[in-house]
């Protein structure tokens, strides 16, 4: 923390960090000054799990499958803008259709449309009729697994997403706790992705699927809700391995988590929360993700997601690490998540001090994404 701090940004990169007085004397008079009295400047936030192609309405599947590519792209660009306005300067998209996120990523990087830096998974690997099959990533044989990963890599994917267990949004598919792939197939996914220089993010609700993904060597576990047919079954041994192998957990929570907990009922909610607390105690690296785009998960309610973790007893510094440093580390991004010379100029200024009052994150005064000021 630097009191009365200042950051000098040039050509999209942080050049110097210090007190405002220090910078005032070292930076030329012609350099534009932005002043935010009473605000805190922190690294731009990182949402590690969104679906820009989904509309967060009651039936995102229909919305994505029945929208033409041009219209869908425009909607995705608009959602990217909502994320940016909330202080999110990097977003990892974990499943879209037709690699539209890659086109959006490139348009944003070229300055053609405002938005956060996009890290794109493109079509997630799933089984025939499996979770999110409608995004185009169905595979069955080992050859099909190889071919899909090669196709995603060729389309410009930044990572590979695999649907290791069933999910809530796919009627008729495997149940949430059921594994979709064999352990051998998951290992193949990780090996093939690595051959293309890509890490793997695994959607895993089931306790079995979580264990199989850790064994296979995925980089991040999405959801990680420890589900079985009976309820919740947390496994401390698998968790120990996660910590050892530095597998991060993106325990996706949308801003409307209070409603979600209510619908779950007290007993299951308590079991779910108990598993999160146990993972925290074991030293798991948590990263922030909202699953924005799925029903009820609005784009840009990033602070709401962080407030969930605060409500479980995570302290504010820990929560901010999830949103910045830890997220950048887990995503393999060396140029964001910290305020230091040489880093990309991803910065957010919020009213007040989020270390003492997390709701400060809801009062965004200014956002710089790769050095560009977001219109407010």
- Which residues bind to Zn ion, rule: CB under 5 A? 291
Minimum CB–partner distance for residue 94 and Zn ion (Å): 5
Given the complex with Zn ion, which of 55 and 291 has the nearer CB atom?
A: 291
Minimum CB–partner distance for residue 205 and Zn ion (Å): 11
Minimum CB–partner distance for residue 278 and Zn ion (Å): 23
Full strand arrangement of the beta sheet holding 45-50: 45-50, 88-93, 117-120
Return all residues near 113 (Cβ < 8 A) that are at least 6 apart: 77, 80, 104, 107
Given the complex with Zn ion, which of 96 and 351 has the nearer CB atom?
A: 96
Given the complex with Zn ion, which of 291 and 307 has the nearer CB atom?
A: 291
Cα-based torsion angle of the residue sequence 107, 110, 115, 117 in order, rounded to the nearest 10 degrees: 100
Given the complex with Zn ion, which of 178 and 291 has the nearer CB atom?
A: 291
Given the complex with Zn ion, which of 79 and 362 has the nearer CB atom?
A: 79
Given the complex with Zn ion, which of 97 and 365 has the nearer CB atom?
A: 97
CA angle 101–107–109, rounded 5-degree value:
100
Minimum CB–partner distance for residue 354 and Zn ion (Å): 26
Minimum CB–partner distance for residue 37 and Zn ion (Å): 39
Given the complex with Zn ion, which of 8 and 54 has the nearer CB atom?
A: 54
Given the complex with Zn ion, which of 158 and 291 has the nearer CB atom?
A: 291
288 vs 251: CA distance, rounded Å: 7
Minimum CB–partner distance for residue 256 and Zn ion (Å): 15
* Residue of closest CB approach to Zn ion: 291
What tokens does 105 get?
Answer: 């990523």
270, 227 Cβ separation under 8 angstroms: no
User: What 3 state SS string does the chain have?
Assistant: CCCCEEEEEECCEEEEEEEHHHHHHHCCCCCCCCCCCCEEEEECEEEEEECCCCCCCCCHHHHHHCCCHHHHHHHHHHHHHHHHHCCEEEEEECCCCCCHHHHHHHHHHCCCCCCCEEEECCCCEECCCCCCHHHCCECCCHHHHHHHHHHHHHHCCCCEEEECECCCCCCCCCCCCCECCCHHHHHHHHHHHHHCCCCEEEEEEEHHHHHHHHHHCCCEEEEEEEECCCCECCCHHHHHHHHHCCCEEECCCCCCHHHHHHHHCHHHHHHHHHHHHHHHHHCCCECCCCCECECCCCCCCHHHHHHHHHHCCCCHHHHHHHHCHHHHHHCCCCCCCCCCCCCECCEEEEECCCCCCHHHHHCEEEEEECCEECCC
Minimum CB–partner distance for residue 47 and Zn ion (Å): 11
Given the complex with Zn ion, which of 291 and 351 has the nearer CB atom?
A: 291
Give 227's strand partners: 206, 232
Minimum CB–partner distance for residue 337 and Zn ion (Å): 21
Minimum CB–partner distance for residue 355 and Zn ion (Å): 30
Minimum CB–partner distance for residue 164 and Zn ion (Å): 12
Given the complex with Zn ion, which of 88 and 349 has the nearer CB atom?
A: 88
């Amino acid at each position: 923390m630097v009191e009365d701090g200042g950051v000098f940004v040039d050509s999209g990169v942080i050049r110097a960090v210090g007190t405002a007085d220090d910078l005032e004397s070292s930076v030329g008079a012609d350099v534009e000054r932005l002043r935010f009295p009473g605000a805190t400047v922190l690294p731009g936030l990182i949402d590690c799990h969104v679906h820009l192609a989904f509309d967060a309405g009651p039936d995102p599947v229909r919305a994505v499958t029945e929208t033409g590519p041009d219209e869908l792209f425009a909607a995705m660009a608009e959602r990217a803008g909502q994320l940016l306005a909330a202080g999110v300067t990097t977003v990892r998209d974990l499943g879209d259709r037709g690699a539209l996120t890659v086109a959006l990523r490139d348009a944003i990087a070229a300055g053609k449309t405002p938005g956060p830096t996009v890290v794109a998974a493109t079509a997630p690997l799933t089984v025939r009729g499996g979770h999110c099959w409608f995004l185009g990533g169905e595979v069955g044989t080992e050859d099909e697994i190889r071919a899909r990963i090669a196709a995603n890599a060729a389309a410009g994917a930044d990572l590979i997403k695999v649907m290791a267990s069933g999910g809530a949004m796919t009627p008729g598919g495997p149940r949430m706790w059921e594994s979709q792939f064999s352990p051998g197939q998951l290992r193949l996914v990780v090996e093939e992705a690595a051959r293309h220089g890509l890490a793997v993010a695994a959607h895993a609700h089931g306790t079995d699927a979580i264990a199989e993904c850790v064994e296979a060597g995925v980089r991040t576990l999405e959801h990680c809700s420890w589900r079985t047919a009976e309820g919740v079954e947390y496994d401390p041994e698998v968790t120990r391995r996660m910590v050892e192998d530095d597998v991060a957990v993106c325990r996706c929570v949308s801003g409307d988590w209070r409603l979600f907990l209510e619908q779950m009922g007290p007993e299951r909610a308590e079991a779910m929360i108990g598993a999160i607390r146990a993972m925290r105690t074991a030293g798991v690296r948590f990263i922030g993700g909202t699953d924005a785009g799925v029903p009820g998960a609005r784009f840009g309610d990033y602070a709401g997601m962080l407030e969930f973790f605060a409500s479980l007893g995570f302290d504010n510094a820990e929560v901010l690490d999830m949103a910045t440093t830890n997220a950048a580390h887990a995503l393999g991004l060396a140029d964001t998540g910290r305020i230091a010379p040489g880093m990309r100029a991803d910065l957010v200024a919020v009213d007040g001090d989020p270390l003492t009052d997390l709701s400060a994150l809801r009062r965004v005064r200014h956002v710089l994404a790769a050095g560009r000021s977001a219109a407010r």
